[in-house]
Structure 1
C-alpha cells in the first residue's frame, strides 16, 4: 500500500508539473508574464501555503525546528537554492526559449545523469541496462533537438542549455533531499525550500513589481493553476513519493510529465512538432519506461 501511494503521488505530481509548464508557456507568450516574476511569485506563495498546511495539520514544531541546528539548516538552504530554485528557473527558462515539450524531455535526462553520477562515485557499476538507457537518451535527444537535420538545430541553443541544466538540477534535487526527509516532514522541507528560492530571486525581480490589473480573467486562472497545481502540489507530491520509493524510481515513474507536456504543447498550444522529434520523444519515453520496468542488478545499491 505504501509503494502504491508513492506511485500515485509521483504520477499525479508529474502530470501537474508537465501541464503547468505548458500553461506557463502560454503566460509568457500570450500575456507577457516575466519569467523571473513568475518563478519568484509561485515559489513564495506555494511555499507559504505548504507551511500553512503543515502548521494546521501536523507537528508544527518542525517548522522552526529545522533551523535550530546547522546540520539541517545549511543543507536546507543549499537544497532551496541549488535544488528547488535551480529546477524551477532552468525549467522555465528552457520553456521561454523553446517550448514546454522539449524543456520537459530534456529535464528527464535526469535519470541518466543519476546513473552516471553513481558510476563515477563507484556506487554502481556500468551494466548492459545502463548502456541501453544512455543510448536511447542520446539518440532521442539528437532527433528531438535536430528533427533529423544535422545542419540546423530545431530548438534554439539557449533552450537546449537551460533544458540540460534543468536535468542536472532535477538529479541533484532528487538525491539531495533524502537525508532531510528522514528527519522532517516533506511539507516542511519543500515549503521552506520554495520560500528560500523565492526570497533569493526576489532580489532580481520583486514579486510586487507587476501590473496585474491589465491581465484578463483567464490569465488569473492560469496563474492559479501554475502556482497551486504546477508548483505546490507537483513538488510536494514528488518529494513525498521519495518516502516510499527509491529516488531513481520516482524520477523514472515521473515519465508521465514529458508525456503531459508534449500532448498539451502540441494539441493545446498548437506548437509544431516534426516527425523525427516524435521519434526522439518516443526514444526518451521508452528509455524511462525501460528503466522503470527492468530489474536493478545486484551490483546496484539503493540511494
Structure 2
C-alpha cells in the first residue's frame, strides 16, 4: 500500500470522527438555542442522510446491491428490524441524551456499548472473561462514576433523564452492532445503513412528519447547523469512515474513532461553555482509555467493518 493511500485513509477517518463528535454539540445548540423539536430533527436527519448514502452507493459502488437486499425475504425482514429497533433506537436515544444533558456525556455513555457487548457475549458463553476484559469493565465503571458525579455521589453532573437516555443509547448501539453482522456479510455497509436510516426515519415520520415544523425557527444560522448535522455529521462522516477501511485496518479506524468523544467533549466545554470539573476530566480520560484499550485488542474481519451510529 502506498504512503499516499495511507495518508488519505488517515485523513478520512480522522475527519469523519471529528465530524461525528462536533455534530453532537451542534445538535445540542439546535435544541438549546433554537428550540428545535427532537423528533423532527431525528426524522429529517435519518431520511436525508439515508437517501444520500444510497446515492453514493448508486454512483460510486455497486448499484445493484441497493435492491438485492429486498429480494431475499429473510434479509428484508432483518433490515426492517435493524432500521426500526437498531438505527432508530440508537439515533433517538443519543439525541434525547444530548437534549437532556450535553453532547460530551451522551457520546461517552454511548461508547459503553463495547462493554455491554462483551458482558453479553460472556453471559452467552461466547467469550471467556480475560484480564483485559476485566480492566475494560473497571475503566468503564470508574469513568462513568467520575463523569456523572464529578466525584460527589450526592450530586449528579447531568440530569438523571440524560443518564437514562445515554445508557439506553449504549444498549441500543450494542444491539445495533450485533444484529447487523449477518447483513454485513452479504451486503455493502452503505446499503445496510442507508436503508436502515430511511426505514427509521419513515417509522418516526408517523409520530412527527418532517413537513410539520415551525418555519420561524429555520433561520439562516439554524439551516447551516442543520446542514452540518445531516450532511457532514451523518452522511459524510459515515462515508469517510467506511472509505478509510480500504487503506487502514479496522483496528486503526476503531482507534482513531476515539477522536469522536474527544471532539464532543472539547466542543462542549470550549464552544458551548458547559463546565467540566476535575473529576469529570478524569472520567473522560478513563473512558477514552477504555476505547483505546478495546481498539488495540479488537479483532475484526475485513469483511465486517465496524458500524457507526452517531
Give the Å deviation of 1:52. Answer: 1.8
CA 1:101 to 1:17, structure 2 compared with 1: closer, same or farther past 3 Å? same
Question: Match of 2:200?
Answer: 197
Aligned residues between the structures:
297
Given the two structures, how large is their TM-score scaled by the length of structure 1? 0.89
Gaps of 5+ in 1: 297-302
CA 1:288 to 1:57, structure 2 compared with 1: closer, same or farther past 3 Å? closer
User: For the aligned residues, what is the CA RMSD?
Assistant: 2.5
**Deviation sequence 1:130-180 (CA, Å, 0-9, x none):** 111111110110010011111121111110011011112222222322322
Given the two structures, how large is their TM-score scaled by the length of structure 2? 0.87
1:148-297 matched pairs, under 5 angstroms: 148-238=151-241, 253-294=256-297
Report the Cα distance in structure 1 between the residues aligned to 2:239 and 2:163, rounded to whole angstroms: 27
CA 1:201 to 1:114, structure 2 compared with 1: closer, same or farther past 3 Å? same
Give the Å deviation of 1:286. Answer: 1.2
CA 1:87 to 1:47, structure 2 compared with 1: closer, same or farther past 3 Å? same
Q: Is the 8 A contact 1:249 1:292 kept in 2?
A: yes
Question: Match of 1:75?
Answer: 78
Question: Match of 2:137?
Answer: 134
Task: Identify the range of structure 1 (194-203 vs 146-155) with the bigger mean alpha-carbon deviation.
Answer: 146-155
Give the Å deviation of 1:249. Answer: 7.2
Task: Identify the range of structure 1 (237-246 vs 200-209) with the bigger mean alpha-carbon deviation.
Answer: 237-246
Give the Å deviation of 1:292. Answer: 2.3
The partner residue of 1:124 within 121, 127, 131 is: 127
**Deviation sequence 1:203-250 (CA, Å, 0-9, x none):** 11100001334432121110000001111123344566678755x876
1:89 aligns with 2:102: no
Report the Cα distance in structure 2 between the residues aligned to 1:12 and 1:261, rounded to whole angstroms: 13
The partner residue of 2:149 within 134, 141, 146 is: 146
**Deviation sequence 1:233-283 (CA, Å, 0-9, x none):** 23344566678755x876554211110100000001101111111111111
Gaps of 5+ in 2: 300-305
Report the Cα distance in structure 2 between the residues aligned to 1:199 and 1:295, rounded to whole angstroms: 34
Question: Match of 1:299?
Answer: none
What is the SS of the residue equivalent to 1:271?
A: coil
Q: Is the 8 A contact 1:108 1:255 kept in 2?
A: no
CA 1:129 to 1:6, structure 2 compared with 1: closer, same or farther past 3 Å? farther
